[in-house]
Amino acid sequence: MSSASPPPVSPLAPASQPDLPPVPGVRLATAQAGIRYAGRTDVLYVGLAEGTVPAGVFTRSKCPSAPVDWCREALKGGAARALVVNSGNANAFTGQRGRDSVALTARIAAAAAPCAETDVFIASTGVIGEPLDAAKFEGVLADCAARAEDGAEAWAAAAQAIMTTDTFPKRATRRAEIAGTPVTINGIAKGAGMIAPDMATMLSFVFTDAALPQPVAQALLAAGVNTSFNCVTVDGDTSTSDTLMLFATGQAGNAAVSDAADPRLAGFKAALDDLLIELAQLVAKDGEGARKFVTVAVEGAENDASAHRIAMSIANSPLVKTAVAGEDANWGRVVMAVGKAGEPADRDRLAIWFGDVRVAVAGARDPDYSEAAASAAMREPDILIRVDLGLGQGRARVWTCDLTKAYVEINGDYRS
């Protein structure tokens, strides 16, 4: 069992964490089950009121974890009464034993809730390929269900319990209205490595007291992920366990809304999108070994999809990311990343900025290029890399971090 001391907190961590308010219909508790870690919480139990509607998006990895398979199937039932999350073991690539572990977890949680096993949602994060001993949840989940609560401390503990190599918990909250009725949205997330989502993030859970039919909740979540978690990358590796779920308890009692495009949902959608973006950015700011937070903005592409692929090519480039780590204004590496993306680009129309400093234009170094100004931009903790392709109206922005020696050290010792 791992008992290594936690890594130092990322210098990009927020100076303060918000206190999350109660969400009617949601109660939380955490525990130490000894899944992998010693001396720290590694289980989150969330009890959900009857009538709670789930929505979810999951990894597109062809090697998904057993919990991902379970959640996809459980979503078809359209109801949620409990969520169980463990850290330390991803229960991925564990064959029939993994599926049996998920089934046992659901049985234990269903008895604790109490509810049907199909109303239990499960997520796991941590080491891949090691069997998960779900028997460790016996007694633990029943105790969690008995003492679950909805205060700010419970939300803070929930964000802490799902961490693996994260250096700080990630949580956010928003308020909105639906047809004049106030609603609350709270979200937590974890992720620091194996981050290149192709749907959502590593693990993220959003809770609201809004009353939403499942098709509406699903549509809102699927749309929100495209401008948030699908725009963040740390190392270009898509996890087997990526899970983003939204649980709507309906306790706010707002007017029924049957269409995600209903204008009465505009404020809620904006708040949800903003919350997802904040959580996604926190993931990038906690990238393993990160010292710089990087925004890559691409404009002038033939279309938005092309701009996104070019932006991700830049953000995922080890050469770009190591240049950022070294505070080296090496715009040639950005040119490389644009050119290798496989998208339409014209060398002689390309322009590149680091921060507000244009370093290249019209296929060559900017005639007014200043090494001192460019280097100063690279010394900032938040760095903007902007590219104009000069071809059309397509644009995109993604977030990443630098690639440091600490990333190699963390991942070289991950199973130790």
Q: Which residues belong to the active site?
A: 201
Which residue has 């691409």 as its token pair? 298
DSSP 8-state secondary structure symbol assigned to residue 105: H
DSSP 8-state secondary structure symbol assigned to residue 229: G
Q: How many residues in the chain?
A: 416
CB environment 67-84: b (16+ within 10 A), e (fewer): bbebbeebbeeebbbbbb
- CB of 289 within 8 A of CB of 193? no
The secondary structure element, H or E, covering residue 55 is: strand 53-58
* Sheet order of strands, 293-301 included: 364-365, 357-361, 351-354, 382-388, 293-301, 394-401
Which residue has 């404009």 as its token pair? 299
Residues 6+ apart with CB under 8 A from 409: 289
SS3 at position 84: strand
User: What are the backbone angles phi and psi of residue 72, rounded to the nearest 5°?
Assistant: -60, -40
CB environment 294-331: b (16+ within 10 A), e (fewer): bbbbbbbbeeeebbbebbbbbbbbeebbbbbbebebbb
User: What are the backbone angles phi and psi of residue 385, rounded to the nearest 5°?
Assistant: -110, 115
The token duo for 21 is 């308010």
E strand intervals along 229-303: 243-248, 293-301
Degrees to nearest 5, angle at CA 204 with 163 and 165: 20
Pairing of strands 394-401, 203-208: unpaired
The CB density around residue 146, as the number of other CB atoms within 10 Å, is 10
Nearest to 154 by CA among 26, 13, 17: 26
